[in-house]
Amino acid sequence: MIYMLRLFLFLTVCIWISQSHDVRAEGEGSAQDALWDTAQELVHKSEECATVFNDLDKARAIEITRLAILAEFTLGSHLLEGYCMDRNVALAKRAFQYAAQRGNVYAALFLGQAYFMEEGAGSPKAREWAERASNALITVTGQSELKQMMAKRFESSGLSPHVEEAFSWHEDESSRTPNSMYEVGLNLLKLNAYPESKLLACEWFYKAERQGHKGARYQLGRQHALGDGVKVSKWHAYMMLEWSVNYGKTVEAYLLAAQLLQEGEIFTKNLPNAYLALLKAQALGADVSEQLETLEPDLSLEEKKDQKFWAQYETSLVHLGDELPQLLHPACSYSSR
């Protein structure tokens, strides 16, 4: 009960702070709206419970994706516990699934435990959701405390062995080298087995990037520039790619920079700088003859001459823009793309 009250207060404060962002996040979908409509019918007839539900409903509409997803998980918790609404396990699982598919580790853990309690340790769903939770544990700190909380919460049934394995796997994996964490992220990104896979790949890349991994830094820039599983963020794309291009100096970074500088959506359109990025990629062995031929008619002789001059020097920089873009939302914010 104390936990629920604290969470309720947290959500209420976030709503108050974020009034100017009270716009529903991208395409929640009629199915999820129907879930909330059904849940509303189960709300107990009291002013307090009506307030709890209404504030949760407002929270899910705010253009702060993680807050909206937390609201979905909290709704599931209320339905599971029978707090302020009639207990409905099936509806709780639907709310948990929605949140888990958007990277919420608590929802994934609760689903893994719920299927274990209903169907036993042999349940494929119990194993699957625990495995998905193991990747999502990267999004929270205090995993040991979380495990203790779950063990206490489900003391009567016992903690699912698959959930136990999820905590153990994450403890082993997250304590390894930056390269091993990068490989986890790359595997999630390439396989894209679940709706949350690319978002969690982003989280693992951030873990590796904080420890100086160059490849992870490039992947973060690429994901935020292209909106690959996360929301497009010009700020994060700039911060990560500027380093990858001018200090990491990889073919992939130069090619992506050239593409973005030609398109003019993430960075200000700048064809001479795009040309320089291609020349630098060529110097590293990339076959970019077609891209150069396509771009050259749009450049003056002086522009081509200047960029070929600067391309001779390894220390010359490819400018991605003169102004730092505005930070609009957190890194690794969920997107269905």
pLDDT in tens, 164-181: 999 999 888 767 899 999
If we measure between CA atoms, which residue out of 328, 327, 101, 331 comes closest to residue 230? 331
**Domain contains 20:** yes
pLDDT tens digit sequence for 122-160: 999 999 999 999 999 999 988 899 999 999 999 999 999
Does the model's pTM come out above 0.75? yes
**Domain contains 49:** yes
If we measure between CA atoms, which residue out of 74, 37, 38 comes closest to residue 55? 74
- Compute, in degrees rounded to 10, the torsion defined by CA atoms 332, 143, 10, 78: 100
What span, in angstroms and rounded, lies between the C-alpha atoms of 230 and 242? Answer: 19
> Distance between alpha carbon 165 and the CA centroid of its chain, in Å?
23
**Domain contains 12:** yes
**Domain contains 45:** yes
Is 134:166 a contact under the CB 8 Å cutoff? yes
Segments in the chain forming alpha helices (H):
2-17, 30-41, 47-61, 65-81, 89-100, 105-119, 124-136, 143-153, 161-174, 178-191, 197-209, 214-226, 234-243, 251-263, 271-283, 289-295, 301-311
pLDDT tens digit sequence for 236-286: 999 999 999 999 999 999 999 999 999 999 999 999 999 999 999 999 999
What span, in angstroms and rounded, lies between the C-alpha atoms of 257 and 266? Answer: 10
pLDDT at residue number 30: 76
Question: Into how many domains does the chain fold?
Answer: 2
User: Which domain, by its residues, includes 276?
Assistant: 224-311
**Domain contains 173:** no
**Domain contains 301:** yes
> Distance between alpha carbon 26 and the CA centroid of its chain, in Å?
14
**Domain contains 56:** yes
> Distance between alpha carbon 39 and the CA centroid of its chain, in Å?
27
pLDDT at residue number 322: 83
pLDDT at residue number 9: 41
Domain end marker among 53, 80, 102: 102
pLDDT band of 64, cuts 50, 70, 90: low
